[in-house]
Amino acid sequence: MGRALFIVDVQNDFTEGGALGVEGGRAVAAGISALLAGHRGAYDLVVASRDWHDADNDNGGHFARDEAPDFVDTWPVHCVAGTFGAEYNDELTTRSIDVHIRKGQGKPAYSIFEGTVEKGGSVAELLDARGITAIDIAGLATDYCVRASALDALQNGREVRVITDLVAGVAPESSREALAEVARAGADLVRSDQIEG
């Protein structure tokens, strides 16, 4: 049984000061780096995703271009490919990342499973090829992309743990609801000090 760590969207636009920055985003980035510094051996594979949106279109209605965003289906422009906002936050140590995933290229995408491996192929294909049956999830934002990634990982037949002190959300209530939902779906909620290896 192989275990992977999914690092979801720890990007400048989702951390403090970014276009859609969440409170605690930089602390999450630093916490993930600390986890990898102390427990990289717990993981057979480390995978990190980034929103990587097109600059020249509304990405399938994901960007609110002509009216105010509703912050449900439409959002301010964020994480445009090749910009500072799309880069990993500098608190995240990237040298331990084995595979980089890009998602949202011309279309809305929340789950890491909607992305593609930089060298081609799907996340599910990657997990199968590497024999990954269990996934720990950390990153941003709890109530959107972390939630969607956890639910898709469960649907994909993987054992899932969400590391609750290494996620941060848009709003406290929706973040609590998201964690409760993924727990009901079968995920375990753990803290980083429970990770061994």
Number of neighbouring beta carbons within 10 Å of residue 70: 9
How far, in Å, CA of 154 to CA of 127, rounded?
13
Two tokens at 24? 């605690």
Asked, as a colleague might, if the bond just before 141 is cis with ω within 30 of 0, I would say yes
Catalytic residue IDs: 9, 103, 145
**Half-sphere exposure of 133 toward its Cβ, with a 13 Å CA cutoff?**
3
Q: Please report, to the nearest 10 degrees, the dihedral formed by the alpha carbons of residues 9, 34, 192, 44 taken in order.
A: 70
Place of tokens 């753990």: 190
Cβ neighbours for 35, distance < 8 A, ≥ 6 positions apart: 5, 138, 163, 166, 192, 195
Helix axes 172-185, 147-155, angle to 10 degrees: 10
